[in-house]
Chains A and B, each alone.
Chain A
Amino acid sequence: MSIDWNEYQPNQFYDELIRQPGKPRPAGRKLAGYLCKLTEQELTERRNAAEVTIQQMGVSFTVYTDGQNIDRSWPFDIIPRVIDSKQWQSTELGLKQRLKALNMFINDLYHDQNIIKDGVIPEHIIKESKNFRKECVGVTPPHGVWAHICGTDLVRDEDGKFYVLEDNLRVPSGVSYMLENRAITKRVFPELFESVRILPNNAYPAELLKMLGSLSPRKIKQPQIVVLTPGIFNSAYFEHAFLAQEMGAELVEGSDLVVNDDNVVYMKTISGLERVDVIYRRIDDLFLDPEVFNKESVLGVPGLMRAWKAGKVALANAPGAGVADDKVVYAYVPKIIEYYLGEKAILPNVETFLCEDPEQRAYVLANLEKLVVKPANESGGYGMLVGPHSTKKMRDTFAELISSNPRNYIAQPTLKLSTAPSLVEGTQPKPRHLDLRPFVLQGKSMYCTTGGLTRVAMKEGSLVVNSSQGGGSKDTWIVDMEKR
């Protein structure tokens, strides 16, 4: 049987495509109409075509625990997620506003700390922050910008509004999958790109290159820009290679670089040593430079921090930028925006309880089964408690964790995350929860991706969208509805 949208039940959630059974949202009308005209066989064929395309394109991600088979094909759902361009415009403004303020905040933290002196943020939050790097105090990177690439996770609640779930200011990944998802969808549904005005999203690599170039200490026409990867066993290696290729930049590993006594970074080439100007590093702070941080690290480059502090090389993101990645800091972002920009935050935060506050902690401990508890400085969905899906034993463990280290935990209500029709099995779409990770760049100027990476929880009812935890993804369309 072909798709019958009357049979599709979004239930109590906000559905991205189907408002109520049989009724698509305006931006998705053409997509929904097109999909239900496909026969069951055609639909299956398209899905198979997508799978073959993914294998051919070698779109993969790496799972550490997967033994020999380190590369898994990218889990992809063929039905795109549709967002109206009008709504996107204000979301984009909100994202840029947020990153701008966060960068002013980070710069302030490594200089005068006015925001603390003015009592907007309590001092101990910064003092106890795992990602505050005392080595960075006093440094001013180009344009005063620390977090050059930010991946912000957005979710939609049942009211259909976007909320910021978290900011990823260290080494956010996923943008290559956003681009590949589009490439796959173009091959699978070429017809749709004729009838629907889908805004292109492929400017990112060029914008990234431009942004990185704007950081170069040498003002030359072609600064040497490299992508620094931990190597083939890193879970995001595919993305590192992809971005380097798209930008025409060198993909280097730590052992390809060397810092000489002149504090300049060089790469080892067939012609000898060549100077490097900008490093888009995909290695965590603590592995960057064994002279300063983790002595055991073989991923980094001895002397890199010297070179960076001397202004001889630019690092994106700058070391220490992760201080604003902290989920406790996150709770203060609306205040941070007001403090530095004198504006109200355009994008709201998800309601957040800080466990370090005795009153809020008491509430969290009493309501664990309703809340999602997150450690302040983890990523990839690790170390979380999802209250409604937890056992008594798990809740007890977390109650103890929270009580012994309240500063390290925040809690948020379980959101009624929006859903979108996804072909999980068979040919009838089922609603599955999803989020959205747009990417924002800041160097000399700012840029935000058109849409972002949509991640989908492939299991019924599940709210976990991380690919390392079995989530999938789908193409994200920003659809222009303006009549021209």
Chain B
Amino acid sequence: MLSRVAARVYWTARYLERVENTARLLSVFNSLLLDLPSGVNLGWYNLVIINGSEEGFERRYKVRNERNVLRFMIADVNNTSSIVNMIHWVKENLRTSRDVLPSETWELINELNMFVRENITAGINKGSRHEFLDHIVRACQQIVGLMVGVMSRDAGWHFLQLGRNIERADMTTRFLDAGAAMIMNEADSPNRDQIVWNNVLSSASAIQAYLRETGSEVSGSDVVEFLVENSQFPRSLKYCLHRVKSCIDELPRNKQLSVTAGSVLEFSLKTIDYNKLGQELRDYLNDLQVRICELHDEISENWFAV
């Protein structure tokens, strides 16, 4: 497989995963904010923080309100991680790697692109927002489902999985980090912890799996442990990083990378004190993000360098 094509397939998966996660996140916030007792300051701006795009936002908007956050995250062409932009990049990457991905994915991404462009205001307005975001999530899943259903498990497939799982692992650290930050920054209020950690779970679509696994109510330490260590849930760090390693093991010239991936996995499982969810957790997540980033660099260096 061509190095350039491998890179594009990998990025297709990353962007696609990020589009879906962003839409999910917006959707979760949308319904969660309706449930919150007034006075709890769990605002829309947290989404910008989770994405690590405070700087980009501040440059463009004065007011950190719902409308601006949504416009920024959905429609703003100046925001590299807005939904519109990321779909554009999925499309561009797909377009230039059409020969290795199922041809129908190309039609589906065109459809999604058309839908988003035509309905962009529906996403920003309150009334139709849920349908809009739901459509995006479904469209992403349809594309992923198509790939799962028809692709040979060859190198292209492994790069797709690699991209998806690295992106997922990264997103999960961000969800957890957002939780830790909120706990540290918000004043203690009734139900605060429960609302925050519930929010974290929902962002990763993990509530159902969490409840079945733990059989207990939502508590911070259990949520963190679940999203870090659970070996069955596809968005837990352990699961994602394990998949990353096994994809790497399937690809050629992988020796050094396999070692690196193994050490990232090991680091993620290094005992953290699940009773200390403040700065310690944030430091751990930060270290992990840096390592994932280094792993990504090593992947590009090894396989994509042209």
Interface residues of A (CB under 8 A from B): 55-58, 232, 241-242, 244-245, 248-253, 255-256, 267-272
Task: Tell me the dominant secondary structure on chain B's binding face.
Answer: helix
By a CB distance below 8 angstroms, the chain A residues around B4 are 252-253, 255-256, 268
B98 is an interface residue with CB less than 8 A from chain A: yes
User: B110 and A269: CB pair below 8 A?
Assistant: no
Is the Cβ of B98 less than 8 Å from the Cβ of A245?
Answer: yes
Total A-B pairs, Cβ < 8 A: 64
Contacts of A250 in B (CB 8 A): 2, 5, 99
Provide the bound-state CA to CA distance between A268 and B95, in Å: 20
Taken together as a complex, chains A and B put the C-alpha atoms of A65 and B54 apart, in Å, by 37
The smallest beta-carbon distance between A214 and chain B, in angstroms, is: 22
Size range of the chain B interface in the assembly: 20 to 34
The reply to whether B253 and A272 form a contact with Cβ atoms under 8 Å apart is yes
User: Is B107 an interface residue, CB under 8 A from the partner?
Assistant: yes
A241–B3 Cα distance when bound, in Å, is: 17
Which residue on A lies nearest to B106, using beta carbons? A58
| Contact A268–B96 (Cβ < 8 Å) | no
Known A-B contacts A256-B4, A270-B6, A271-B253; the reply to A232 vs B96 at CB < 8 A is: yes
* 24 A-B contacts (beta carbon < 8 Å): A55-B110, A55-B114, A56-B107, A57-B107, A57-B110, A58-B95, A58-B110, A232-B95, A232-B96, A241-B95, A241-B99, A251-B5, A251-B99, A252-B2, A253-B4, A256-B2, A256-B4, A256-B306, A267-B2, A268-B3, A268-B4, A270-B303, A271-B1, A271-B253
Whether B252 contacts A271 by the Cβ 8 Å rule is yes
B positions within 8 Å CB-CB of A: 1-6, 92, 95-96, 98-99, 103, 106-107, 110-111, 114, 155, 251-253, 303, 306
B-side contacts of A248, CB under 8 Å: 99
In terms of DSSP, what is the predominant structure of the interface of chain A?
mixed
- Do residues A270 and B251 form an inter-chain contact, with CB atoms below 8 A? yes
19 more contacts with CB within 8 A, not counting A57-B106, A270-B1, are A55-B110, A55-B114, A57-B107, A58-B95, A58-B106, A232-B92, A241-B95, A241-B96, A241-B99, A245-B98, A249-B99, A250-B2, A253-B4, A255-B4, A268-B2, A269-B1, A270-B252, A270-B253, A271-B252
List, in ascending order, chain A residues with CB within 8 A of B95's CB: 58, 232, 241
A residues less than 8 Å from B110 (CB atoms) = 55-58
Q: B253 — which chain A residues lie within 8 A by C-beta?
A: 270-272
Q: In the bound complex, do residue A241 and residue B98 qualify as a contact, i.e. CB atoms below 8 Å apart?
A: yes
Q: Are B107 and A58 in contact (CB under 8 A)?
A: yes
Report the bound CA distance from A416 to B251 in whole Å.
61
Q: How far is the CB of B210 from chain A (nearest CB, A)?
A: 37
**Alpha-carbon separation in the docked complex, A453 to B155 (Å):** 36
Determine the distance from Cα of A200 to Cα of B271 in the docked complex, in whole angstroms.
Answer: 65
Q: Please measure, in the bound complex, the distance between the C-alpha atom of A244 and the C-alpha atom of B100, giving whole angstroms.
A: 10
CA gap between A271 and B2 in the complex, in Å: 9
Whole-angstrom CA separation of A269 from B6 in the bound complex: 8
- Tell me which residues across on chain B come within 8 A of A57, comparing CB atoms: 106-107, 110
**In the complex, what residues of A have CB within 8 A of residue B114's CB?**
55
Measured between beta carbons, the chain B residues less than 8 angstroms from A55 are 110, 114
Contacting residues, chain B, for A244 (C-beta < 8 A):
99
Q: For residue B111, which residues in chain A have a CB less than 8 angstroms away from its CB?
A: 56
Chain B contacts of A267 at CB under 8 A? 2
Least CB distance, B176 to chain A, in whole angstroms? 32
A244: shortest Cβ distance to chain B, in Å?
Answer: 4
